[in-house]
Structure formats: structure tokens, C-alpha cells
Structure 1
């Protein structure tokens, strides 16, 4: 393979670096309210395109099958909305003995209570080639659950409450997630054969959209870097967030492959990304509602602002490695299943009588 071919093969990782550097150089372009208007182009248009893309590329049978994967859905939702909040609660209890800013500690608790995002986990699962249908269902379902579960978790773990605009959140989720998937499925029903033959680059399109999301996310992060916070505290939060994500990614992978066995490799990919990601799109509005009277709102927002780009960046970096594992694990699983089938057919009455 030539050097140029190798470079092209890693275009997504190169795009990650370029996106972050571009955001650092000129954050005003992609920040909220900036030239690109990400509060419209990303929140509504880009997310809708992601799920329209998924609706077009997904086989209807796969989507139906994913809806009834109860064990898979239970694992993801319990991990992200039960295990992570209480794991972070224990971590914050340990950090309470340190000199880390108390509002940053509360911010970590806030992050842990957030629902999964409606885009990044789906894009990463699709980029790897995992169970995209399961990722779509859990991202949407987790967001719906988060409307009710997140305020309760915040009340229990952090001690703040407020009214959540349920109707507006439901409407946004339906218009940007559910409707595009349904529209894509309807279009697919008319042009299914052509789509199967054309082999359109749906995965590449998803990765391109993810790079745009990464760019605008880091624009917001760099633009808000003027917050009143000690550099040592900021460094600690970045390290803690990174270690938490690495720990959650590893633990979700180990549990789904070695403890709760029976998940296919493609299911494990969806589990790893969906159960460990937290939503900034739903998180920031909820923070503004739940902590509208707090003078330290900017400080408790910092861990979420750090967590969101970190999960996308780390997930993007892991894509080629997770894909390599999934391909290898799938090949081993298919070989085992084939061997079992051959053994069973060899022991059938017809073969014995023969």
C-alpha cells in the first residue's frame, strides 16, 4: 500500500486534528451565535441529516429486530442512567477530600445524570459498522427517558430541581430523530434495490457530519475558555473526565463481552458508545433550567463542556481499533457457529443411518 493510500485511509483521524486546530484558530466562526449558526445548522439540520441518512441506509428488518432487543436496551440504559451516576457520586465523595473547586465537583455529578446524545453515539457506531439500529433506538429512547430521569437524578444527587419543558423537548426529538428515520425508511421502501446496488457512502457522510459537529463543539469550548477557573482545577477536571471515559468504555466492553455474554460484536459496539456518552444538546438547556438561580452556573457547566468534545474525540480515535476488533470477533463467532452447525448436522439421524 502506498503512502498516499495510507494517508487517505486515515482521513477521519486527520480530519479530527484539522477540525480542532481550526476551532482553536478561529472559534468565533463555529461557536453558538457565530457565522455557521450551529444552534440551527447543527442542532436541527445536521442531526436531522444524520438520522435521515440512517433511515435510508438501514434495512427495515434490522430496525424491527433492534426494537425487540430488550436485553441490549436494558444494559445500555441501566449503565448510563444508573451505574454512571452512582459511580461518579462515589468519585466525587473521594474528590471532596481534595482542594478541587466544589462547583466543579457538582458539575461532575451533573454530567453523570445526563442522558445519552442523539447523534455522536449513532455516528460512531455507524463508522465502526456496529449495530446502528440499536444505537438509534437507544439514543432516542435514552433522550426521552432523560427528560424525566435526569431531573430526578439531579434532585437526588445534587439537590436542585426545576420544571423541564417536556413538550418542547419531545417535539425537538421527534422532528430531528424520529421523523427523519421514518422518512428515510419510506424513501428506502421505494428505491431499496437501487440503494443496495448503488452502495452509497453513507458511512463517509456520517463521518463528515461528525467532523463538523466536532469543529463547532470545540469552537464553543475555546470561545468559553475565559471562565474564572484556576488552571490547576481545569487540568484536574480534564484528567478526571478522560480517566472516567476510558474507565467507562473499558468496563462497558468487559461487561458486555465477558460477564453478560450473548451479545454479538456489532451489539457490543453500540453498547460501548451509547452507554458511555452524555448529551450536551439536552444537558445545557437542562442546566439552565435546573440551576437558573445559581451564580456558579458557568462553573458547573465546565465538566459537561469538557466531557462532550472528549467523548467525540476519544470515540473518533478509537473507531479504527474498535472496527478491527469487531471484524476479528465476528469472524471468530461465525467460525464457531459454522463448526457447531456442522457438528449438529453430522450427528443428525440421517447422517448416522447413512
Structure 2
């Protein structure tokens, strides 16, 4: 019996150390995503919105809340408040997320529609425009920014601000773009169709983002040692990636249940797949140029001194903060290019109606974009992590230095206390 057990353990050890096995373990995210997509195809009713498990609540609220609870437990309150005041980054992300990306998408889709290619469905092009008007995604950019070593605190602030504003901005942008004669067919046409949307979005953001984040912050400040032990012992950092997979599973289940992929030709789907990847990388490049304008270091190569002119000092003070650090730039790149499907599905159905015959075609670009942005972002994580390694190392060294100073001060204080005690003891003995 013991020999058989030893043999099995030896085989398990060989399999675990095998290169193929190690590769499969490292790619667990993509493998699990593929499994969930297959499950969504064959059992769409289980995890769809309004399905067996009521995914709009269990996943739309529960999984997202788990991600932000973990964020609240691991983020320092002081740093979170500091990033909330970073108005320059907020302005950059909101401008890119709502105005720049949607305008570029509208221009590209207008050119494609004028080409009159019968393989490209007009309602799919409308879906691409609606996707571009959506706010940044609720969960994936926070997970990816943290994995890449970026400023996940800033990313979390952008998620909250962007999605709250998205309830108002997205319908307005859709109305603006559909006022054009090219896409007049896609105009929802009634402002009353989105009147109830604002309360629903506020409720979802409040319950799935703000409340768990607040609870995490309270627990972290009241029980810091216990929270730190739980985070390290139960590996709660992995929870975000798995919850992100659940969100994508629910989105695909909803799309398959509504026969979104059956209502569009194969050629059109292939076009959307490759177009989404290209446009996501293009938007990421724009975010990088926006976050780190190349001309600012040329205009302000050094910090102002006493000999510098007033103009140089003034413009340096105003413009230099717009040149983000690498950690902040990673957050801007992940937030600016990402689009939400968790709220995007609600934004689309509320405007066009859940019984619209074109709803499936409208959702195809949104659902595909969400999965492709996560897959592409996973490949960018390692590159961004290496790129920002110097800043992360500097932060670690600074933290270690401050800890050494604190420990040195504590030890010196203890020594002085001991010296004082010895002096008192010797003086009392002399007396």
C-alpha cells in the first residue's frame, strides 16, 4: 500500500515538474476562458442575464463586489484619497474613454459603411459605435493594472468616476452620432427609454463597487494584521482573475442565448474579431501618447531654478504634471482603451429595448471586444511590468529605507532608554 502511494506521488511529481504541465498551469486563465465559452455555447441559459443563477445579480453584483472588496482590503486609505485628487489623470482618461475613442470609431465605421460591403452588417457597425461610447470596464482594468505593477489605486478611481458618468454620457453620445444620416437608422429615438437607466447604474455601481470598497477600507484600518494575514494566507490576489472570468462567462452566455452570433455572417464576425484587436492596440497607443506627451521633456528638460524665467517656472508648474509616471501611464492605458460589457449590455438593452430584433447584432461587437481586450491586455501585462520595473524597484527601495530609518530610530531609542536606566541605577548605588 505504501509502495503504491509512493509510486503515485512520484508520478505526480514528474507530471508537475513537466514543462508541458508547467506551461498549462501558467496559461490557466486562457484555458478556463475557453472552457467557459464552450459552456456558454452549450448551456447559455445557466449564466445569462435572467437565467438559472440570475447572473445579473450573482455575477454582475457578486463577482464584481468580490474584486473591489479585495481591492479595498489591500489598498491604503491615504494613497486612495491622494489618487482621487489626481484631476489631471481623471481628465485624461475621461477625455480618451468617451470623446477620443468614440470619435475615432465613428469615423472608421462611417468609412466602412460608405464602402457598401454587403458582408458587413450595418447594425454591427452601429454596435461598434455604441461599444466605443461605453465607459471603461468595471473589473478587468483594475486586475490587469495590478498585475502589471501599475497604479491600481488610480485605476480604481477611474472605474468609479467613468461608470457613474457613463450612465449620462453614453446615451448622449449615441444620440449625437446617430443624428448623422449614415447612422440615423440606429437612433434609439426616445429619451424616455433611458430615463430609468440612471437609477439602475447608480445602484449597480454603489452596491458592487462603492460598498465593498468601503467595507474593505474599514476592515483594513480596524484589523490591519488580520487582513494582511488573510490576504497572504488565502491568496486573495487570485480572486480578481477568476471573478473576471465569471463576468466574461455571463456576457457570452447572454450573447449566445440571444443568438447574437447566429444573426451575423461568419465574414462579419471574423472582421469584428480582427478589427477589435487592432483598434484596442491603437487606442492603447493613443493613451500612451496622451499620458506621456513626447514634447514635454523637450520643452522642460530640467526643473526650474532661481535663474529660470517666470514663464518657464509657470508653464513647468502647469504642464509638467500632465507627463505621467510609468505606473500612472499603465493605469491610463488600461482604462482609456477598455470598454465595459457588465454595464454595456444594460446600456444597450435600455436604449434599444430587450425585445429589439437587432439587439443580437448590437451586442456582438461589445461582447467580443470585452473578451479580446482581456486576452490582449494579458499579453501586454508582462511588457508593461518590465517597462515600469525601475519605478517599482525605486518604490521598494524607498519603502525599505524608510523602514530601516524607523527601525534604527526605534533601536536607538531603546539604547538611550537602557543607558538612562543604567545611569539611574549607578547613581542610586553611589547614594
Q: Which residue of 2 aligns with 1:290?
A: 351
Q: Secondary structure at the match of 1:307?
A: helix
CA 1:12 to 1:296, structure 2 compared with 1: closer, same or farther past 3 Å?
closer
Q: 5 Å matches for 1:5-20?
A: 8-20=25-37
Q: Which residue of 2 aligns with 1:308?
A: 370
Post-superposition shift, 1:307? 1.5
| Length-normalised TM-score, structure 2 | 0.70
Q: 5 Å matches for 1:1-354?
A: 3=19, 8-24=25-41, 26-98=43-115, 99=117, 100-159=120-179, 160=187, 161-163=190-192, 164=194, 165=196, 166-196=198-228, 200=232, 201-223=235-257, 224-259=259-294, 262-292=323-353, 295-328=357-390, 330-331=392-393
Looking at structure 2, the residues matched to 6 and 302 of structure 1 have their Cα atoms a distance apart, in angstroms, of 31
Residues 70-79 or 164-173, more deviating: 164-173
Residues 66-75 or 237-246, more deviating: 237-246
Post-superposition shift, 1:54? 0.8
Q: Which residue of 2 aligns with 1:341?
A: none
How many residue pairs are counted as aligned between the two chains? 335
Looking at structure 1, the residues matched to 160 and 60 of structure 2 have their Cα atoms a distance apart, in angstroms, of 14
Indicate if the aligned counterparts of 1:253 and 1:268 stay in contact, CA closer than 8 A: yes
Looking at structure 2, the residues matched to 295 and 178 of structure 1 have their Cα atoms a distance apart, in angstroms, of 35
Post-superposition shift, 1:155? 0.8
Looking at structure 1, the residues matched to 134 and 70 of structure 2 have their Cα atoms a distance apart, in angstroms, of 26
Post-superposition shift, 1:311? 1.7
CA 1:282 to 1:12, structure 2 compared with 1: closer, same or farther past 3 Å?
closer
Gapped runs of 5+ residues in structure 1? 336-354
Q: Deviations over 1:82-127 (max 9, x none)?
A: 1011111110121122212222221111111111122222122223
Looking at structure 2, the residues matched to 114 and 28 of structure 1 have their Cα atoms a distance apart, in angstroms, of 25
Q: Secondary structure at the match of 1:275?
A: helix
CA 1:228 to 1:25, structure 2 compared with 1: closer, same or farther past 3 Å?
closer
Structure 1 runs of 4+ aligned residues shifted over 6 Å read 332-335
CA 1:157 to 1:265, structure 2 compared with 1: closer, same or farther past 3 Å?
same
Q: Secondary structure at the match of 2:191?
A: coil
- Cα RMSD (Å) of the superposition? 2.7
CA 1:204 to 1:96, structure 2 compared with 1: closer, same or farther past 3 Å?
same
Q: Which residue of 1 aligns with 2:406?
A: none
Indicate if the aligned counterparts of 2:220 and 2:227 stay in contact, CA closer than 8 A: yes
Post-superposition shift, 1:179? 1.0
Looking at structure 2, the residues matched to 148 and 270 of structure 1 have their Cα atoms a distance apart, in angstroms, of 23
Looking at structure 1, the residues matched to 280 and 94 of structure 2 have their Cα atoms a distance apart, in angstroms, of 16
Looking at structure 1, the residues matched to 394 and 37 of structure 2 have their Cα atoms a distance apart, in angstroms, of 37
